[in-house]
Structures are given as structure tokens and as C-alpha cells.
Structure 1
Amino acid sequence: MQLDYIVRKGARKIPDKIALVDVNQQITYGEYDQRCNNFANYVIKDFKISPGDRIALLLENSIEICVAYYSIPRTSAIIVPLNFFMAKKELEYCINDSKPVMLIYGDKFKDDISYYKKRCPSIREFISEQQFDKLCQIPFEGKRLKPPKKVYESDTVFIAYTGGTTGFPKGVMLTHEGLFNNLMSSGRAVIDSLHKADNIENGLEMLEHSILIPIPIFHLAAMLVFLMSSFMGYTIYLHKGFKANKIVQSIDKYKINHIVCVPTNIISLVEFLESEEAKKYDLNSLKQLTYGAAPISPTVLSRAMELLPTTKFRQAYGQTEYSPVITQLTSEDHELAKKFPEILKSGGCPQIGTEVEIWKNGKFLPKGEIGEIIASGKSIMRGYWNKKDLTQKTIREIDGKNWLFTGDVGYLKEINGKDYLFLTDRAKDMIVSGGENIYPKEIENVIYQLNGVKLCAVIGVPDEKWGEAVVALIVPKKGANLKGEQIIHYCAE
């Protein structure tokens, strides 16, 4: 099944239901599908896209990025969602590595476009958010145009860049099939939790639910939740960031049923919910909170569950390379943790259609022994863009099955008849701060560009709010007069 089927399905079954709401506008599923058609027709007829061309997106959460996610696959092009938290040099690398022919950018980034115009020659057209919105609303005469090449489930639909321990981000090629398998498994967990549906394909009866997505949907975890929510016919509310008071106001005002966030957000939410101001808001509509992307303190999580007694909690662990969810800690697991508290320290159990094993020294390890976490299933990436050798190291065949070697370290433990995955170390030297994957090598490369730096090492240290904070240890050259504020300012630029 291809991703653009999702909005077509919504337009056919619930054309008048509100699909998307952002700070500027709201549109129905019928309007959503029409905008996707209009932009796809422009790209095919006027821009003359070629099969497999890339279109890059530098957009915050908005209706525009949601339309782009479903319209671009209708053209046989590949989406390259860019992480706007990356430095310009990193984004320049991602762009020149993937060589997109078009870049759609948001207002927040308009002052940076001249930089990319000078350095990224593959881009033939730069389209602002406003221009994109107009193109999506220009009616196209006649039927929807066919893409220049038939699109198959095995085709790459996204190239998502993730940080690299070598200092350069890696482009992860994700297929229609891989993403669809992952969203169906995740969707079943939501349905089983909230509605006890027996059959996901028949049980997803365009539910009358709504979801609030405040984390950027260039992140694959948020992207998957977005795709799943569209498939389920939710009304999707989009925020451009997480401010606890604004989030709580929206839940109360719009009677939001579901929210997705990272552990740092939960900490902020707990702090606000413990304040006097929070008492005036009604959060009983919130049926589920999904979180992931970083470890969370069981103490913080338990307190959040106390403050939101009518809300079910669900955690997901995964990697971009697996489209992305590998294991889930379901709402039932969170309840079971009242009897077995250790469960809250785990990443949950393998989701439907996924096998998880622990590997070391060329063999599978028994439960309780620590090794590298590997996963097998239909959600494995197609490979790394332009990195064949790394792909072969990361995806390996064992006993006739392909396995993704995650680089994460952990062990499996049976609790109450189920196998739970426990992580003991993150991939390589990665730092996870506020849900963001930060690779020390990338920061070290920047710091070494400063005059006066002899040696540099970047590490993560425990932080109550962010999970981990980034610390740079620097040995200056003889006679150098480096200041901490100067280095921080340089890195920020």
C-alpha cells in the first residue's frame, strides 16, 4: 500500500471532517486530498519532475508540511525532510548529498535561503511556504495526472537524515511498505489500548478522535504518529513547539484525546500540572499520551500518571532505520508496572511483526545477557543513501532473515510471561538531550574550527530536565585565550 492512499481514503469516507488545524487555518479531509492533487499536478505538468527526484522540506509543523508529505509521493519523487535544528553546514551536507531539485521552506528560514542558493546547485526551484500554499489551492482542470513512473510499495518515499558518528548525517531510505507496516503495528497498539478492536483494517472506522502533535514531524517518531493519525481519520492539531501551559490550554479548549511528546516535555508538563494555574483546566478528554525518543525517569513518569489518572500512557523505542518503532511499552504495561515497577525502566516488548534479539560475538544471547540489540521485520530501511558499505554492515542476513544492527546495547528479560527490552547504553557515543540525538563528533568538528583549540572531547552528562546535557572538554593551544561564552556562541551559529 502506498502512503498517499491514506488521504484519498479519508477524502472518500469522511470528506467533511476537519483533518488538520494549525495556527493559521484548518482544512477538511476533502480539501486535504484536493490540495495534494493540485500540488502533485503542478509538479508533474509544470515542474516536469523525473522519477526518483528528491524534494526537500525545511518546514515547521504546519498544514503545508502535512500536504507535502502526501502530495509528493503522488509524483514518484522522494521526500527529504530536513532537521532544522541542524547547523547550516550540516543541512548543506544533507542537501548536497541527496541533491534535491526543489526546496520548500518556511518563513522562519527565509533569511537562510540565500546561503543554500549559493552552495546547493542541484536545487532548481526554491518555494516559500506562501507560494506552496497558493500552488496547493490553484484548481487543476481535468483528472489527477499520473506520475511519470508507476509507484511501488518497495520504492523509497523518504530519505530521512540522522546524525552520524563519523561527523556527517546519514540519509536513511524508507519505503512505502516499511512505513505502512510500522504504522499499522503502532495503530493496532493504539486501537487495542483505547477501543479493543480485533481487526485493525476494519476497526479503524475513522475514529472521532483528535491528536495534538507539538514535536517536529521531520522526526520519524512524530512523522509516524502523524501518518497513523491521518490513516485513522483523526483531527490533527499542530503546534510548533511544546509550551506546557499552551498545550494544556489546547487540550481543554479543543478536547484533545491524544498527544505525542518526548520525556523533556513530560517533565515540563508535570511542573505545570502541579501549579495553581493548571487547576482551572479540564484534561479528562485526554485518553492517551505517547512518548519516546529518550529515556525517562520512572519517578517523573509515575508522577505524570498520578496527575493524569484518566490518561493511558504508551512508550515507543526505535530507530529511524526501522521506520522507526521496534518495541512498545503499552498502556497495559504501564498498568502492570504497579505490580512490577521494573517495567517502567524498559523500552517495552517487540511490536507486532517485529523480532528482537541480542547479539554478541556472532551468536544470539540468552535472556539477561547484554549485547547489541538487533531487529528483524518488514520495517527495516532500504539502506543508507550513497553508503553501500555502511548499509551492508548495518543490515545483515542471519538464517535467511535480514536483521538491523542498531548499535544500541541492552538485554531481554521475561516479566510476567513477556519479553521486555532494557537498554543499557545508547548507540556508539550518542547523546540524547530533550529527545534530540546529538553526536559528539559533529560538535567536536565545529569546535576544532575555532582558532586556539588543541584538543576537544564532547560528552553527555546526566541532567534532570534534558535527560543528558552536552559538555565540551577543551584543551587550548599555548597562548590561546578561549572563553566559554565565545565557544557556545560559535557552536550556536
Structure 2
Amino acid sequence: MKGLLNFGQMLSAHARITPSRVGARDLERSMTFKQWNERSCRLANALLSLSLNKGDRVAILAYNCVEWCEIFAATAKAGLVALPINFRLIGKEVQFIINNGEAAAFIVQDELVGVVEEIRKDISIKANRFIHFGMRACPAGYRDYEDFLAAGSARDPSQNVDLSDPWTLMYTSGTTGNPKGVVRSHRSAVLLSMVTEIELGLHRNDGALLVMPMCHANSLNFFGAFGYCGGVNSIYSRKSFDPEHAVRTLAEGGSTFTSLVPTHYIMMLGLPQAVRGKYNYDDLTKLMISSAPARPETKREVMEMFPNSGLFELYGATETGWVTMLHPHEQFTKLGSVGRECVGAAPIRILDEAGNEVPDGQPGELYCCNAHTFDCYWRLPEKTKEAFRGDYCSVGDMARRDDDGYIHLSDRKSNMIICGGENIYPSEVEALVGAHPMVKDVAVIGLPDEKWGERVHAVIVPHDGATLKESDLLEWSKERLAGYKRPRSYAFIAESEMPRNATGKVLHRELKKKFSN
């Protein structure tokens, strides 16, 4: 792939060709391609001045803001690996990722310094490699981000970065409770950007409003595509989603595209008609709905609210990038499907447990094969091996193919809960709730929720004679779990009522059936 540029190199090209065009912004600030490139070069050189070596991981803990654009570009230019961390995680969860990913430097937004300070003595990053940015004064023990950039050279670093080198290490929860690091190369990112541009018909006059967290693969992947084609990346720099503010930003912010989870759309659809109807959405031409199952009625209402916007739906994963896409003209004829393979991909395979292809219409495990699949799970060769059958990759999702070749998801990763677009694995929640001294057994399931898609529900078997209240468990989980992972509701049952198979394994599906009614 001689001549193919990675993201950092492509940013330099845009800065040379269209220096005065706005390339990146958030709700408060904006940068031309020239400014963005210069600041990214300064950051890249400043990081290298800390004696970081090619391939070293740079952790980032921040809310959505324009600095993400600089950090992703700087790591690409310097041959370093960006390690984004979900800002919703608690200290111990952040600590695991930092230590497991062997981060060599840490860039932290001021409002999240408290999380870092909780664990600083327990993470293996050198004292002079903590970098702080934000509106507040730089605390002791951190380098000030702006001073750090100013000390770096504005010239492109002379690092020899190959397309096969890793660019990102993103952690996704694992069914064992510990998150797994997903390693993706520059080649993977570039090829996925090209696929996205083809599927959506993007060009440099397009702009993305990136609402989902920049620490998620969804926003990172669209960020790469719009940055690669020279469009504008607009970061929705709010800590929480305000539906009326989001609607106004979509109408007045100049973006042509956004990607939202069903919960976001449901919140906007819930606004009074007087609010929804007072804005003009003509600039908005492309909408994406993804990251969680979308009900047909939700999609219909979205298309009614934004009549000039084509609605796309995609299915993918952190490991695989985009797998399928459903296009606007297919929404009514194939409502309920997630589309067909994205351009350039080999035909999807739907396999039974023995690895045999199942007939159309029958459910099986979905395997995909494309050029932008991840390289490996960080330090987990056996897990990497389990994910592949030859060149085909699976993340454990069940699906069926209809007679027209469209894919319908029939199940998700075993027992996984998707709440507001966040993946939650019951085993992790069960381990922490089950550590309560009065809990004898616990099973965690996802129950339907009109706003969030699913909510976390814990089914508890108390120890004999124990008096256990819901308030006790709410307080217990508050200290041990990120907010989006905490059970929102509880049920208390006798041990004999917990459904199990012949080997004693809890049957989560039976519980879902029972408590969904």
C-alpha cells in the first residue's frame, strides 16, 4: 500500500492543501487544519521528548473536547499508541486498564484528576509523564498541557511510522469480568475510513457532530473518516446529553452527519412538538443509528422528525469495525435488519457450533472478514485465537441471513446488556454485587427500558436469615461500580427459584423471560 497515508500524515496534507479551512472544533473552540496540524506536531514532539519509544501507550482520560483531535493525531505522527479510557469508570477500573495496557504517559482533563489521584500510587507511570489540561490551574505533579505543547517543535516528527504499526488500544469488557484490550493498526484505521467514506458518500464539504464519547470506537472511527477526507470534526463537548441542546446544535451547527444510539433519538423524540418543530434541519443530510438494537417504531419516528436526512444503521464492534450497513432506501423494505456486508468485505458466514454454515433463515454465530479487523487482543493470544476461524472473526453475536442476503441479529454476545449504547457484562456486576456479605447468589440480566434500551436488573438470593434491602445494595454497588453498570432494580428470590441447567449454571434467559413479563 505504498503512498497510503496514516491519519497524522493525512492531517499534514490537509494543512498544506487547505490550511485555512476549519478541521476540528468543539462547542467552544475551533482550529483550522493548519492550526490543528501544528498543535498536533508540537504535542507529538513533546511526548517524544519524555523518552517515549515507538509503540509506547499514551492513556487519555477526558470528556468530549477538541483536545482528543490533537491527541489522536499526535500519537499517529509520533508512532505512539493512543489508549482512550472511558470517563465513566471508577478508579480501580481505570487502574486495571493503565497497568494492563502498560501505559507510559497519561493525559488527564482537570475534572477527572480526582480519579487519577485515587490510584496514582498504584499505577506504573513515571512521575514526570502526567499531563493536565482544562480550565483549572495545573495541579502539583502534572505538566501543563499548553506549556507542554509550546515547548514542542512545530515540525512533523521524523518517526518512521509503518501502516502495520498499532495506533490505538481500546478496552472492551470481557465476559470474564476483566476488560480486553483491542489493538488496531494504522492500516485498519485508514481502510475503515475509506469504507465509511464510500458507504456514506462523504466528501470534504461534510461535517460530523460527534456526540458519542471519543473514548468509544464509534466516535473514533467516524473521526478518522471525516478527518481523512478533509471534512469537519465537531466534538459535542458536553458531559451529558441534553436533547433540546442537541437538536439545536444539529440544526444550527453546520454539521451534515451525526451518529447516535437509540436512547439519544428517543430523548429527542420525547421533546414537545413545539420544540422539535421550531428548527430547520436542512443541512443535516445523514443520520446513523447504531451501537444498540433500534425498535422499528423509533426509526420511523426519526425519519419523520428529520425528513431530509437519510437514516443509516450499522452493525459492528470495536474488534471488527463496521460489518454491515443498512442504507436509507432500504429502511422500509428491510426494517428490522442491520443490512448487508459493507463494501470490500467477504461474504458473512453464519456458523453452527461445529463451524458449519447454517441455511438462510436459521440462527448461528456471525463471522465476518474484512480488511480493517483488529490485530489482536492485548497480551491475550488465546483469546485472539478463539476470535478467529482462519481470516474470519467473531465477537460472539448470533444472527440469521434472509433470502435477500440481509443480516438480522437474533441475539447478542452471551448475556450482554446494552444500556444507552454501553456494553455491560453481567459477570462483572455479579462478582461485585455478590461480594456483599448478605448475598448468597446473584444473577444480573438486562430488562427492556423505553429510554435506555435495557436497564441492569439484579436477581438476588440472600443468605438464610439475612435481612437485605434494595437500599443496602444500591449503596454497596455505588462504591464499586461505574454508574452505568450499577443495577437499577433488584428482585429477591429463594435459592430454589434460581433457574439452572444440569451443570448448575444459572439460566439467564429464563430469568429474563420471567422478569420481563
TM-score, length basis structure 2: 0.86
Q: Does 1:129 align with 2:129?
A: no
CA gap 1:92/1:83 in 2 versus in 1, 3 angstroms: same
- The residue that corresponds to 1:392 in the other structure is 385
Describe the SS at the equivalent of 1:112: helix
Name which of 431, 447, 452 aligns with 2:438. 452
CA gap 1:136/1:31 in 2 versus in 1, 3 angstroms: farther
- The residue that corresponds to 2:94 in the other structure is 91
List per-residue Cα deviations over 1:198-240 (Å, max 9, x = no partner). xxxxxx4x22x32211110111011111111112222222113
After superposition, residues 167-316 of structure 1 pair within 5 angstroms as: 167-191=177-201, 204=203, 206-207=204-205, 209-239=206-236, 240=238, 241-272=240-271, 274-316=272-314
After superposition, residues 69-148 of structure 1 pair within 5 angstroms as: 69-124=72-127, 125-130=129-134, 133-135=145-147, 137-138=149-150, 140-141=152-153, 143-147=155-159
Larger mean Cα displacement after TM superposition, 367-376 or 21-30: 21-30
Describe the SS at the equivalent of 2:118: helix
Q: Does 1:5 align with 2:9?
A: yes
Q: Does 1:329 align with 2:326?
A: yes
Q: Does structure 2 conserve the Cα–Cα contact (< 8 Å) formed by 1:221 and 1:325?
A: no
Please give the root-mean-square deviation of Cα atoms over the aligned residues, in Å: 1.7
Amino acid at match of 2:341: P
Give the drift of 1:155: 1.3
Q: Does structure 1 conserve the Cα–Cα contact (< 8 Å) formed by 2:164 and 2:187?
A: yes
Distance 1:414 1:13 in 2: 47
Give ranges in structure 2 of 5+ residues lacking alignment.
135-142, 480-517
List per-residue Cα deviations over 1:130-150 (Å, max 9, x = no partner). 456404651645743323xx2
List per-residue Cα deviations over 1:97-129 (Å, max 9, x = no partner). 011011111122111121221111235421112
Distance 1:243 1:377 in 2: 36
Distance 2:126 2:220 in 1: 24
CA gap 1:333/1:141 in 2 versus in 1, 3 angstroms: same
Describe the SS at the equivalent of 1:121: coil
Amino acid at match of 1:180: V
List per-residue Cα deviations over 1:36-76 (Å, max 9, x = no partner). 100111112x2011122111111111111111011012222
Name which of 323, 332, 349 aligns with 2:340. 349
TM-score, length basis structure 1: 0.90
- The residue that corresponds to 2:36 in the other structure is 32
Q: Does 1:374 align with 2:360?
A: no
Distance 2:167 2:270 in 1: 39
Distance 1:446 1:256 in 2: 42
Name which of 469, 476, 490 aligns with 1:490. 476
Describe the SS at the equivalent of 2:273: coil
After superposition, residues 147-162 of structure 1 pair within 5 angstroms as: 147=159, 150-162=160-172
Name which of 451, 465, 471 aligns with 1:465. 451
Give the drift of 1:296: 0.6
Amino acid at match of 1:116: I
Describe the SS at the equivalent of 1:321: coil
Amino acid at match of 1:395: F
CA gap 1:123/1:354 in 2 versus in 1, 3 angstroms: farther
Describe the SS at the equivalent of 2:428: helix
Give the drift of 1:482: 2.6
Distance 2:212 2:30 in 1: 19
CA gap 1:234/1:35 in 2 versus in 1, 3 angstroms: same
Q: Does structure 2 conserve the Cα–Cα contact (< 8 Å) formed by 1:42 and 1:135?
A: no
Give ranges in structure 1 of 5+ residues lacking alignment.
195-203
- The residue that corresponds to 1:200 in the other structure is none
Q: Does structure 1 conserve the Cα–Cα contact (< 8 Å) formed by 2:42 and 2:155?
A: no
Q: Does structure 1 conserve the Cα–Cα contact (< 8 Å) formed by 2:42 and 2:154?
A: no
Distance 2:265 2:36 in 1: 31
Number of residues of Structure 1 aligned to a counterpart in Structure 2: 462
Give the drift of 1:473: 0.8
Amino acid at match of 2:223: F
Distance 1:123 1:268 in 2: 43
Q: Does 1:414 align with 2:407?
A: no
List per-residue Cα deviations over 1:294-314 (Å, max 9, x = no partner). 001101110111121111111
- The residue that corresponds to 1:201 in the other structure is none
List per-residue Cα deviations over 1:408-432 (Å, max 9, x = no partner). 00111133xxx21100100111111
Distance 2:373 2:153 in 1: 40
